[in-house]
Amino acid sequence: VDNKKRIWIGFYQDGLDYSVYQSDLFKVYAYPPHFNSLNLTVRSFLINDHIKLIGTRDGLYYINEQQQIVKYFDRTVLQSDLILSLIYYNGEYYIGTYGAGMYILNPESLTIRRTGFPECEALQSGHIFCFRTDTNGSLWIGSSSGVIRYDGVTDRIEMFTSFNSLLPEGNVYEIFFDSDHKGWFCCDKGLVL
């Protein structure tokens, strides 16, 4: 839901829709003549003020309607076609892919770079399913290898797997922090608190 109370919905196929109160319930999102989401297979999206990021099965779209910018990033930049997750964190956009780890998009230069952690296999070649922040400002990353906690202040990561924690082996698809600041982790083999 954005600041105008519109609900944005990404479909498995056929693009991205949004609802407008007391109007036709759904419309396919387009920014004519620069962009139309019709027939795109949308897997993730993010709205940050006037900037929209749309992750598809064929790459990532960056749309800034205010500055009339539409930029497309494909496999040649991201090493993956499938964009699973997006978040705005510490002034940049973090991009989770299927099979190519995580990338960071700088909104000023519109350039994409790798993380500064080449030793972390999940961030280089894993599946990045979700991003969530906690009340301390840490970024939690659900991956195909477990959970990664990134501290943006100290620029350090900590990896949690079935080898060093009670996290079950396998994928971590979703992370949720409740009102008591407890983390819920949705895994291949159960729900972990």
Per-residue model confidence as pLDDT tens digits over 20-59: 665 567 789 999 999 999 999 999 999 999 999 999 999 9
Percent share of the chain, pLDDT over 90 = 81
Tokens of 101: 């780890």
The mean pLDDT value for 2-28 works out to 77
Q: Which residues contact 108 (CB under 8 A, 6 or more apart)?
A: none
Contact in structure between 30 and 39 (CB atoms under 8 Å): no
105-130 average pLDDT score: 94
- The answer to whether residue 110 scores a pLDDT higher than 90 is yes
What does DSSP assign to residue 7? Answer: P
**CA of 169: how far to CAs of 56, 147, 172, 189, in Å?**
28, 11, 9, 7
In 3D, which of 98, 181, 110 has the Cα closest to residue 140? Answer: 181
Comparing CA positions, the residue from 150, 144, 50, 37 lying closest to residue 94 is 150
Say whether pLDDT at 78 is over 60: yes
pTM of the entire predicted model: 0.86
133 pLDDT exceeds 90?
yes
Q: Which residues contact 59 (CB under 8 A, 6 or more apart)?
A: 72, 73, 74, 75, 78, 81, 83
10, 19 contact by CB (below 8 A): no
Output 52 or 4, whichever has higher pLDDT: 52
* pLDDT value, residue 31: 93
Q: State mean pLDDT over 148-158.
A: 94
| pLDDT value, residue 13 | 74
Torsion of CA 147, 149, 150, 151, to 10 degrees: 180
Residue (of 156, 168, 58) closest to 115 by Cα position = 156
Peptide bond into 107 cis (omega under 30): no
